[in-house]
Amino acid sequence: MMSWKKGRGKLGILAPLLGQWRVETKSDLGKVICTRNFSRVLDGKYVRLEANWQIGSDKSYDEISMIGVDKDKQIKFWSFTSDGKNSHGVLAEVRDLHPLAIGFEAQMEAGLARMAYWPDETAGFHWVVESKSKKGWNRFVAHHYLPML
C-alpha cells in the first residue's frame, strides 16, 4: 500500500495526494484519460489541483481547484471548470468509505454531493464522486489513480 502519511499543518492531510496521478478507464462516452496534479502553492497556504479529462477522441474538460483554510479555520475547496461552472465545499467526514479517506462535501444545484480519496491496497488511490439521495449516497464516478512516472 502507498504511504498515506499526513504532513504538517492543517493542510497536511492532503500530503498523500501531492504529485501527478493518472487513470485510464471507459465510460458511456468512450475512453477516458484523467490526470490530476496536486501541488502546494502560495507559500504552502493552499494546495492547487489541476485536472484534465480527455473523453473519447475529441472532448476535453479541465478543472482548477484551490484547497485552503478559510477565515474560520475550516478546510475548504474552490473549484472552477472549463464549462464555466464553479463550486465550493468543506472538508467532510467520509470514513464510511475507508478509515483513511479524505473528502469534501458541496451543495450543488442538484443537491448535496461529496468526493473522496483513499489509498489503494497496492498502489495509488481511489477517488469517487457521490450524490446524496433519500436512500444514502449514490456513486456516479469511481477512479483508481496511479502515479505518473
As a whole number, mean pLDDT of residues 20-36 equals 92
- Distance linking the first and last C-alpha atoms of the chain: 17
Give yes or no for residue 112 having a pLDDT over 90: yes
Q: Domains in the chain, start-ordered, CATH in brackets?
A: 10-147 (2.40.128.20)
Question: Which residues lie below 8 Å from residue 69, measured CB to CB, with a gap of 6+?
Answer: 10, 11, 45, 75, 76
As a whole number, mean pLDDT of residues 24-45 equals 93
As a whole number, mean pLDDT of residues 79-92 equals 95
Query: What's residue 2's pLDDT?
Result: 63
Give the 3-state secondary structure of residue 34. strand
- Report in angstroms the alpha-carbon separations of 57 from 1, 60, 67, 133, 140: 33, 9, 31, 33, 22
Query: What's residue 149's pLDDT?
Result: 72
- Does the pTM surpass 0.85? The reply is yes
Q: How confident is the model at residue 111 (pLDDT cuts 50, 70, 90)?
A: confident
Q: How confident is the model at residue 27 (pLDDT cuts 50, 70, 90)?
A: confident
User: By C-alpha distance, which of 42, 24, 17, 33 is closest to 115?
Assistant: 17
Quick check: 63 and 79 in contact, CB under 8 A?
yes
